């Protein structure tokens, strides 16, 4: 059995150990030895990108925000579904994740960072959304932390609280959509989305196509 190779590692602002591994052609990122994401199980990340932009495929120049780069699969699907006039802004909190994509994951999805439609911003996505011009984005796709229950970075809770959701609503255009990845269903989070004026749908998704049952949830929050 081939061993896991530690390609790179860093310490997060909260003091956790984050590492990138390669194993037999697949890649994973672990936080304190617990797996965050794996290139062999990407169905939910691809579905996040698909659902975020499906309402805007025919639009010539949609403006899309992706919160969280990860291994690049949500970005991959968004770029596959939007046209040459699209603007896709990817916000990633950890500069090491961006660097790993460019250096170690170029053949996976890292090359997509050079796409002319893509802007990479190393920042807190909550602050980027809060400071955005009103009605800026056609779609916002968020794959931050473990979803509404923060795990990697405790301050990520602020993205999903009532004020954070109101910021998302302000940043979206009319008929805009926020697609939000979550490790599980959170009823209180859904209530906050509804209270902010969104029409909400939950979509159960599998970690990979052959999985027997869904493991994650994507929240679709549509402007009325």
Q: What is the CATH number of the domain that holds 188?
A: 3.40.50.150
* Residues 149, 202, 164, 137, Cα dihedral to 10°: 130
pLDDT tens-digit series, residues 145-177: 777 875 556 667 789 999 999 999 999 999 999
For 193, the 3-state DSSP assignment is helix
Strands (E), 55-211: 63-67, 87-92, 118-122, 137-142, 172-182, 199-205
With 0-12 CB in 10 A as exposed, 13-18 as middle and 19+ as buried, what is 161? Answer: middle
- Which two tokens mark 49? 């990108």
Separation CA 16–CA 153 (nearest Å): 9
Task: Tell me if 34 is assigned to some domain.
Answer: no
**pLDDT at residue 128 greater than cutoff 70:** yes
pLDDT reported for residue 154: 62
Q: What's the number of CA atoms in the CB half-sphere (13 Å) around residue 182?
A: 23
Does a structural domain hold residue 195? yes
**What pLDDT score does 151 carry?**
55
Domain count along the chain: 1
Rounded Cα–Cα distance for residues 63 and 60 (Å) = 10
Per the domain annotation, does 184 fall within a domain?
A: yes
SS3 212: coil
- Residue 31 in domain: no
35 belongs to a structural domain:
no
- Whether 5 is covered by a domain: the verdict is no
Per-residue pLDDT band for 105 (boundaries 50, 70, 90) equals very high
Per the structure, the complete domain to which residue 46 belongs is given by 41-222
Tell me whether residue 158 is in a domain: yes
The verdict on residue 24 lying in a domain is: no
- For the entire predicted model, the pTM comes to 0.94
3 touches 99 (CB < 8 A): no
């Amino acid at each position: 059995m081939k061993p896991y190779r530690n390609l790179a590692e860093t310490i997060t602002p909260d003091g956790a150990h984050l590492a990138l591994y390669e194993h037999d052609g697949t890649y994973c990122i672990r936080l304190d030895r617990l797996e965050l994401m794996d290139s062999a199980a990407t169905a939910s990340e691809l579905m996040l990108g698909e659902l975020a932009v499906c309402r805007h495929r025919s639009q010539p120049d949609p403006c899309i925000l992706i919160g969280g780069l990860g291994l690049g699969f949500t970005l991959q699907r968004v770029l596959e579904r939007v046209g040459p006039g699209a603007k896709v802004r990817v916000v990633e909190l950890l500069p090491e994740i961006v660097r790993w994509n460019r250096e170690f994951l170029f053949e996976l999805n890292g090359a997509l960072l050079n796409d002319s439609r893509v802007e990479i911003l190393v920042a807190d996505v909550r602050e980027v959304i809060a400071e955005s011009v009103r009605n800026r984005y056609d779609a916002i796709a968020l794959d931050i932390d473990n979803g509404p229950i923060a795990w990697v970075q405790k301050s990520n809770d602020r993205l999903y609280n009532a004020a954070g959701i109101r910021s998302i609503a302000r940043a979206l255009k009319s008929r805009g959509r926020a697609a939000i990845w979550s490790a599980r269903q959170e009823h209180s989070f859904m209530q906050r989305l509804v209270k902010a004026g969104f029409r909400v749908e939950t979509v159960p998704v599998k970690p990979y196509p052959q999985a027997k049952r869904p493991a994650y949830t994507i929240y679709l929050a549509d402007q009325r």
